[in-house]
Structure 1
Amino acid sequence: MARCWRRTPALALVIVLSLGGCQRAEAPTTAPLPQVTEATVVQQADALLALHRKVLVLMADLREDNEAQRLQAQAIGLQWFHQQRGLQQQLAEAVLRPGSEVALDALLTRIESEPTWFDADRLAFKELLQHLAQEQRGSQQLTGIQRAKRIQDDLTALAEVEQTYAAELGAVMGRLETRGIELKRERWDDYVAKLRALYPREQLLRDPAALLALEVLAPLPGGSAPALRGPAPERELFGAQLPPKTLLLSFDDGPHGRYTDQILEILQRHQAPAVFFQLGQNLGKVDAEGKVSPGPGLKVAQRVLAAGHQLANHSFSHGLMSKFEPPKVRQEAAATEALLTAAGRQGDALFRFPYGARTEAGLSAVEALKLRSMMWNVDSLDWADPIPKSIAARVLAELNKRQRGIVLFHDIHARTVEALPLVLEQLQADGWRFARWQGGQFVVSDPATQAPALSGNSGYRDSHALVIGIDDYAQWPKLAHAKRDAQAVADTLKQQFGFKAENVELLLDGQATRAAILRALNQRLADAKRVQRDDRVFVFFAGHGSTRRLPSGREVGYIVPVDAGPDDLQAGAISMPQLQEVAEAISAKHALLVIDACYSGLGLTRAGGNAASQNFVRDNARRVARQMMTAGGADQQVADDGPGGHSVFTWTLLQALGGKGDLNGDGLITGTELAAYVAPAVAAIAQQTPAFGSLPGSQGGEFVFALRAPDAAEQTLSGDSRQLDAQASALAQKVDRLRSAPAAGAASAVEVAVAGLDGKPQALSTPAEAPALSPRQAAQRANDRGLQLYRERRYAEAEAAFLQALSLQPRFSLAANNLGFLFYKQGQAAKAVPWFEQAVDADPARALAWLNLGDARLLMGDEALAEVAYQRYLALTPQHSRAAEVRAWLAGGPKPKPPV
């Protein structure tokens, strides 16, 4: 049965809205609003936006400022920023009170439709909306559910606004080579120019807050550029004291109930240490007698410690301590110290003055508590910049200029969570080292111990999949193998590639309705809370596909859900452009869509990934990947009846994922490698031409499958080892003879011709050979190849592979057993015995080798030696599946019958 149907033209416009996730944002508690009215809420929203706009104008020209002007602007901006956070908290508390639904609606209406606001203005309310969405999400009332949906739609619109401005940085963040190019951001600059007309920067610098900021500035000796008033640098820690190409990460103003944990997760993936400067008021309370009352933040601080990071003191209230008398400075620092001690902090005690505003007297006060002041020299300005890519670009540019530094972030923003992976990935690719403060000195990590940005299954934060298989169509011809294909793919993802069972949604037959598929795509995979940037997403569809020609002559491909009618594709099926929209809405770094059906009409970009780079693993982690592979073209019927109860395409795909798709032997199968193996193989054995390409939004990245090492039982051949049936074995041999892709371990990159998603031919450059292997690694690789050949019943080739493994590692017990079993399988027990003996001599604990030796000895008629081998087998694995029959024979029963 074919999986491709072609329909008559019709006219349709299909729109899919992909809803992003929502996250809760918190802020320090402030006094609640005295009265909750529509007018008050609107007034507060306007005041919050005014502060947001002022901060942007103030920070926009920092590059043109001298040092004194930069310090002044940052000091003013930080104060306005903290006022802005206070207003956010007031608004949230006000509109979430019982009976304040009208005020909440007024706030949403203001954010959504105020005509005097610019689109980018609405980014000032992103974290507030995330907080409101989180609070409304659990509502059981219809009005609450409707309001939650409205807020979620607003967040989706904000994500599109943010993407508009972030796209200007896409090339810079997507390609390492462009890091030296000056950023050109026409859209953002146009927006800031409009704000300058409303808030002239010169006027902002005359604001009363500016006068307050100037009071904490003083000239350095000798008339050099001003700096924050303070003591000699040797009494404090600065970024300039670090070695070249070294940085120390620091996070201020936490802990936060959600963002701190997300940052800990990112740091763990990159094995990057950090110092978290905590505000005492976020940890709990301390009474006049010094008694500590822990708050919820204390448990977050304990998780920071448990993750191996350092807790430090950032005062209790985040006040301007340069205006405090020494006793007040000491009181604030001591209260926070008590809370940090309650959290379990030990070792070096660090302090950071809020705003960096300190005096000689203030520093002496904290030094009296045995605290060491740590400053920073690279400010991410994550508190001022609403665009995560812009934050990342700023940090990288500053570090590149200074070549060392203490970097200041804040673990209280969603934008910091989004920007941090971008920074760490590029820094690790460039060979930067991380430092921590330990034992009174900077301790620098060894780059060799740092995890690459992408390494095996653990390189992704998490893995998600939607797998669909439909045989039982009501209005289309039934299929025979699509359901089995989907189940096999889902099992492969979980068993071989570490996808968690709860993250793999499997829709079979009647479950795979149009509504269910779209819900899984939009609400599960496009949920930014569930699926995050460092994740990967895999989508597989096995079922009918169809193509519809538009009046314009363009063709549109569809996948056909179980409930779709054959005469109304635009309403009942799911178009390829819709899948493309979903792919763009997914937050995950890498996404791969595999469609075992025909397609047409995509007209998309071609794959440009090349995994030949020696730094592929690290480089690929920075590049977004949106890739798709389909089983055939619009004018082809995709074969459903293939070997092993699968379609030809899915059977070949499973073979590739089993290891054959690793064309350069580096243990990784990229999306391009998968296509370079599957497409020519399927084309060689079926009347269909698989297509492959990159979707819009891709930046040349590659989806990656990391092959896991088989366990000992899988690698040890015995009577329980599985093999392909005769049909599948013959087909596998044919594929290897006919496919144009190079054999594993090819000496150099090879171009493979496949069809692009636009129907035009393209050449995929398959990766060059992996770096030279050690003899042990090469022996293991040869043994693995022998196992694959054995499963395909290619015994002569398997024998050569096992012999190669043993020539590299003569005491390779596993390969010796496998070679012996290969002979035993062919009825050559006498040739098998010496290899089994070599296996148990090299590894006396290899139980299955003892079992195989006993079987071979018994087949030769040497029962005494067979008994010795069986006894050793039973002693090692008394519960093995064949133990009972062996034990029965030793007790005088019938001879064992190995399942060969």
Structure 2
Amino acid sequence: MTAFLLRPSSTALLLTAALALAGCQRAATTPADTPAALPAASAPQDVGASQRLGREADELLALHRQIVVLMDGEAALPPPQRREVQALGQQLFHELLQRQQALADAALKPDALDATTALLTRIESEPSWFDADRLAFKEVLGQLATGLKSAQTLDGIKLARRAQDDLDTLAEVEKAYEQELKEVFGGFAKRGIELKREKWADYIAKLKALHTREAVMKQHGAQLPAPADLAPEPPASAASGGMRGMAAKDREVFGDKLPPKTVLLTFDDGPHARYTDEILEILKRYQAPAVFFQLGQNLGKVGADGKPLPGNGTAVAKRVLAAGHQIANHSFTHGLMSKFELVKVKEEAANTEALLDAAGRNGDALFRFPYGARNDGALTTIEALKLRSMMWNVDSLDWSDPIPKSIAARVLDELDKQGRGIVLFHDIHARTVQALPLVLAQLAADGWRFASWQNGQFVVSTDKTVTAPPPAPGELYRESHALVIGIDGYTAWPKLSHAVRDAQAVRESLVTRFGFKADNVTLLTDADATRANILKALNERFGDAKRVKRDDRVFVFFAGHGSTRRLPSGREVGYIVPVDAGLNDLQADAIAMPQLQEVAEAITAKHALFVIDACYSGLGLTRGGVAGSDSNFARTNARRIGRQMMTAGGADQQVADDGPGGHSVFTWTLLQALSGKADLNGDGLITATELAAYVAPAVSAIAHQTPAFGSLPGSEGGEFIFELPASTEPALSGAVAQLDDKASQLAAKLDEASTAGRQAAPAASGAASAVQVTIKGLDGKDQALAATTARVDPGARVAAQRANDRGLQLYRERRYDEAEAAFKEALQLQPKFALAANNLGFVLYRRAKFADAAGWFEKALEMDASRSLAWLNLGDARLQAGDDAKAMAAYKTFLELAPKHARAAELQAWIAAPSEGTRPKAL
């Protein structure tokens, strides 16, 4: 494919323009589950399609540029001018969404593949466009990547992969320039601060050579108020669009009538097939009511006889009602109703009313004018239909601001200024889904209350303020910090073999699996792991309150020698041994467990976990209990301080340094546990207690050592948490590495031993079920460790993904029966799970069930024909089954989709000359 022409000096520009105007995400018009048939030839091409798509692309880009010029610097305009600019900006933005949808629909037509190819090439590399122009087509690319995946031709599937590659490239650039984007857009609500936006200014200067704000407004029938006409900004209760003063205040609902520190949430322009449901889930977490102002055209149609014809959006509206929220009228087409004939106003409102009634709407009949544009005649017309107009006094500007944190900051700032408010959001943007929890979390922290509208008045919850729910996925911690130490090459102590590799593997897991930023993980190995460097990292890095905040977590891992010193009193003190320690003066050269405890108490972060893989490391004195089952665990845990330690062995033991994969037995078991095996209740979280409950009995069963675990001084019952990520595993194929037989047998033994070491624990009335494990505490005494095993229901999609992940792990361990069962479970939960179907087929292939395997590969390709590895696997299965013709056909498709694969040359040679000597070497 042609790469984006992104020059290093202008990549941020490209992103800024695109993100500022990225539209709502819509589902592809092509069904996602259409079986993939691949005819040899594409459908006949419409020779005029390329010209039409090119013309539509030019018109879309022209509108995009006009919006950028119109909105640049709008926050600095006088209030009357700002209102006019924002009103026109919203109108043009909705037109932009329609143009994006029309372009995507046209590009997805079966006879438009050649035209779509030309369109992609132009988006990627048109030399006459400015760099920042290109991402005006981000929404279009997203729809092409989704819709073409279900194409009936190989060419269509290849185009889908190309569009997805383009989007992946944009995602990487977006992440790289996230901070710059925040600086560019984070000041919408600021006053008196001029942000330096040199790169953005370059692009604006180019556009202003083509357009001016005044010209854009004139072209669309609007104009800025003259300076002589500028008046002070009206109060929040005053209307816009021709409604001013007492009439609107008396007849319409405004946020200034709410009690102090009370908020009413509203969402316009839905229902949306995806984002509305995501917003419902967020509102459920915070127990927040809301009003959803919905467009009639999104709900369905109205026949010539006036009867409603509900569409797919009605099902979404019914889910809004089932969740306890209100649905209300936002017109049928989102037109500028202040300019409509009154008969048209009535038709727009009445048709939408019919569709809302068909969805089961109950409660007050509310109406919101699109853009807030209304006049006395329009207001009187909707009142005649017994509708009450509800406005807003806090605008999130989520339609124009691409940065969720900036949207949230604006809403919170305006609520703080006004002390109360009806907030305007839109449930058609991904950015709103991201910003909403930020707003609600802060409102919860500041003691705000939610309101609803019932029986013609605000109804405020009086029994409680906004309650913060358990943290959402990815929100458990603000930042994560780690110090990872591994020492093989000691100066005076015996050299070790695997400690450095242990440390490197732990660091890799923290960064790639658990989201620790690489810059926040300090790795000290061998000569760098001196006593001074270790203490400096512990005290300066973790003791810096500017770096480590209250909502952070800190993880410390040490792999190396440990030792014990008996004091004259008879008490023993454990030490970890730095690389430069001598043999005879532990007190001066090593780091004592009490020093680690002092570090733990001084850390600002709410949760800290020390994992010590060293000989004689079991002497970290414990104080306080180990956290048990809690029905509100995630919420209460977010408030509790947690200081925990797990060690590889007791004071009278040496730890094994000869485990699988070049690791110690303890660290290898730890890595196995963190792969997901220690998630005892299937909630996607591994607590430190669950980690110990898996690791301790497993290690004890296979090595002469007894891991210990407990809380350190300063702990208040909090738990360090690892959140399992969504799977990014590739599809199974011959390239996926597996454990050797010895390691595979050991992995199975670990699982068996860990399970055998757990027994049912008595639970208090109403408490979650738990297992009990007897392990050593940090003081060397036995303790009963309780870990909850109450299974949670994450929903079918997430459960299917976890079953697939479990199958991948079992496949790597050569436990094929169990892997097959896991993949079948995933498919039972999610029947259209193409990845799981491929993986099930590959497990059967490895067991020499070639015909059955081929059947599952074909099912995977019916679900998603763009999976190149499934075509490769199908070819291998057919080859092994002796059907060379079908094998060759599958290989040819694979080569079309992945021409640079490592096996490409081998397969091409056989296809060119299908002899025994060129026969592929299938797994």
Query: What is the TM-score when the length of structure 2 is the normalising length?
Result: 0.52
The CA distance in 1 between the partners of 2:386 and 2:501, in whole Å, is 67
Say whether residues 1:441 and 2:457 are aligned partners.
Answer: yes
For residue 146 of structure 1, what is the aligned residue in structure 2?
Answer: 158
Give 1:778-797 correspondences, 5 Å limit: 792=776
Q: Is the 8 A contact 2:640 2:717 kept in 1?
A: no
Residue 221 of structure 1 deviates from its aligned partner by 12
For residue 768 of structure 1, what is the aligned residue in structure 2?
Answer: none
Give 1:709-788 correspondences, 5 Å limit: 741-742=712-713, 744-745=715-716
Give CA deviations for 1:787-817 in whole Å, capped at 9, x if unaligned: 9897659999899999xxxxxxxxxxxxxxx
The SS at the match of 1:232 is helix
Say whether residues 1:83 and 2:87 are aligned partners.
Answer: no
| Pick aligned residue for 1:405 from 411, 414, 421 | 421
Give 1:572-721 correspondences, 5 Å limit: 580=511, 620=551, 632=559, 677-678=645-646
Residue 68 of structure 1 deviates from its aligned partner by 1.2
The CA distance in 2 between the partners of 1:376 and 1:661, in whole Å, is 49
The SS at the match of 2:306 is coil
Q: Is the 8 A contact 2:183 2:195 kept in 1?
A: no
The CA distance in 2 between the partners of 1:576 and 1:671, in whole Å, is 27
CA RMSD, 1 decimal: 6.4
For residue 148 of structure 2, what is the aligned residue in structure 1?
Answer: 136
For residue 186 of structure 1, what is the aligned residue in structure 2?
Answer: 197
For residue 526 of structure 1, what is the aligned residue in structure 2?
Answer: none
| Pick aligned residue for 2:438 from 422, 440, 443 | 422
Q: Is the 8 A contact 1:173 1:389 kept in 2?
A: no
Q: Is the 8 A contact 2:280 2:320 kept in 1?
A: yes
For residue 83 of structure 2, what is the aligned residue in structure 1?
Answer: 71
The CA distance in 1 between the partners of 2:419 and 2:206, in whole Å, is 34
| Pick aligned residue for 1:167 from 147, 171, 179 | 179
Distance of aligned partners of 1:707 and 1:264 in 2 relative to their CA distance in 1, 3 Å threshold? farther
The CA distance in 2 between the partners of 1:585 and 1:801, in whole Å, is 28
Counterpart of 1:294, as a letter, is P
The CA distance in 2 between the partners of 1:406 and 1:650, in whole Å, is 62
The CA distance in 2 between the partners of 1:801 and 1:139, in whole Å, is 55
Q: Is the 8 A contact 1:315 1:354 kept in 2?
A: yes
For residue 219 of structure 2, what is the aligned residue in structure 1?
Answer: 208
Give CA deviations for 1:694-747 in whole Å, capped at 9, x if unaligned: xxxxxxxxx9867999xxxx9xxxxxxx999999999779766xx9x3264499
Q: Is the 8 A contact 2:184 2:195 kept in 1?
A: no
Distance of aligned partners of 1:727 and 1:706 in 2 relative to their CA distance in 1, 3 Å threshold? closer
Q: Percent of counterpart pairs with the same letter?
A: 43
Q: Is the 8 A contact 1:23 1:130 kept in 2?
A: no
For residue 316 of structure 1, what is the aligned residue in structure 2?
Answer: 332
| Pick aligned residue for 2:368 from 352, 356, 374 | 352
Counterpart of 1:207, as a letter, is K
Q: Is the 8 A contact 1:661 1:674 kept in 2?
A: no
- Which one is further off, 300-309 or 180-189? 180-189
RCO higher in structure (CA 8 A, sep ≥6): 1
Residue 202 of structure 1 deviates from its aligned partner by 3.7
Distance of aligned partners of 1:799 and 1:48 in 2 relative to their CA distance in 1, 3 Å threshold? closer
The CA distance in 2 between the partners of 1:80 and 1:682, in whole Å, is 70
Say whether residues 1:25 and 2:26 are aligned partners.
Answer: yes
Counterpart of 2:101, as a letter, is Q
For residue 126 of structure 2, what is the aligned residue in structure 1?
Answer: 114
Q: Is the 8 A contact 1:219 1:227 kept in 2?
A: no
For residue 290 of structure 2, what is the aligned residue in structure 1?
Answer: 274
Residue 104 of structure 1 deviates from its aligned partner by 1.5
Could you tell me which runs of 5 or more consecutive residues in structure 1 were left unpaired when the two chains were aligned.
1-21, 462-531, 539-543, 548-555, 561-572, 639-645, 693-702, 715-721, 748-778, 803-900
Counterpart of 1:451, as a letter, is T
Give 1:31-110 correspondences, 5 Å limit: 37-110=49-122
For residue 266 of structure 2, what is the aligned residue in structure 1?
Answer: 250
Residue 74 of structure 1 deviates from its aligned partner by 1.3
The CA distance in 2 between the partners of 1:424 and 1:133, in whole Å, is 33
Residue 342 of structure 1 deviates from its aligned partner by 0.7
Distance of aligned partners of 1:407 and 1:744 in 2 relative to their CA distance in 1, 3 Å threshold? closer
The CA distance in 2 between the partners of 1:406 and 1:247, in whole Å, is 6
Q: Is the 8 A contact 1:270 1:450 kept in 2?
A: yes
Give CA deviations for 1:128-161 in whole Å, capped at 9, x if unaligned: 2222222123347543333222222211222233
Give CA deviations for 1:528-582 in whole Å, capped at 9, x if unaligned: xxxx8789999xxxxx9999xxxxxxxx99989xxxxxxxxxxxx9996798477
Say whether residues 1:228 and 2:241 are aligned partners.
Answer: yes
Q: Is the 8 A contact 2:24 2:97 kept in 1?
A: no
For residue 408 of structure 2, what is the aligned residue in structure 1?
Answer: 392
Give CA deviations for 1:801-852 in whole Å, capped at 9, x if unaligned: 99xxxxxxxxxxxxxxxxxxxxxxxxxxxxxxxxxxxxxxxxxxxxxxxxxx
The CA distance in 2 between the partners of 1:140 and 1:534, in whole Å, is 43
The CA distance in 1 between the partners of 2:328 and 2:83, in whole Å, is 23
Could you tell me which runs of 5 or more consecutive residues in structure 2 were left unpaired when the two chains were aligned.
1-22, 31-44, 481-485, 490-497, 563-575, 579-610, 658-663, 671-683, 719-762, 787-923
Give CA deviations for 1:373-403 in whole Å, capped at 9, x if unaligned: 0111222222223333333333333333333
The SS at the match of 1:376 is coil
Distance of aligned partners of 1:198 and 1:598 in 2 relative to their CA distance in 1, 3 Å threshold? farther
Distance of aligned partners of 1:793 and 1:52 in 2 relative to their CA distance in 1, 3 Å threshold? closer
Distance of aligned partners of 1:724 and 1:412 in 2 relative to their CA distance in 1, 3 Å threshold? closer
| Pick aligned residue for 1:197 from 197, 200, 208 | 208
The CA distance in 2 between the partners of 1:794 and 1:202, in whole Å, is 70
Distance of aligned partners of 1:164 and 1:444 in 2 relative to their CA distance in 1, 3 Å threshold? farther
For residue 697 of structure 1, what is the aligned residue in structure 2?
Answer: none
Residue 35 of structure 1 deviates from its aligned partner by 8.2
Q: Is the 8 A contact 1:168 1:185 kept in 2?
A: no
Residue 340 of structure 1 deviates from its aligned partner by 0.5
For residue 125 of structure 1, what is the aligned residue in structure 2?
Answer: 137
The CA distance in 2 between the partners of 1:138 and 1:166, in whole Å, is 33
The SS at the match of 1:89 is helix
The SS at the match of 1:381 is coil
Say whether residues 1:295 and 2:311 are aligned partners.
Answer: yes
Counterpart of 1:64, as a letter, is A
For residue 904 of structure 2, what is the aligned residue in structure 1?
Answer: none
The CA distance in 1 between the partners of 2:242 and 2:134, in whole Å, is 37
The CA distance in 2 between the partners of 1:788 and 1:575, in whole Å, is 27
Distance of aligned partners of 1:343 and 1:319 in 2 relative to their CA distance in 1, 3 Å threshold? same
Residue 79 of structure 1 deviates from its aligned partner by 1.6
The CA distance in 2 between the partners of 1:796 and 1:634, in whole Å, is 19
Residue 26 of structure 1 deviates from its aligned partner by 5.2
Q: Is the 8 A contact 2:258 2:420 kept in 1?
A: yes
Distance of aligned partners of 1:735 and 1:414 in 2 relative to their CA distance in 1, 3 Å threshold? closer
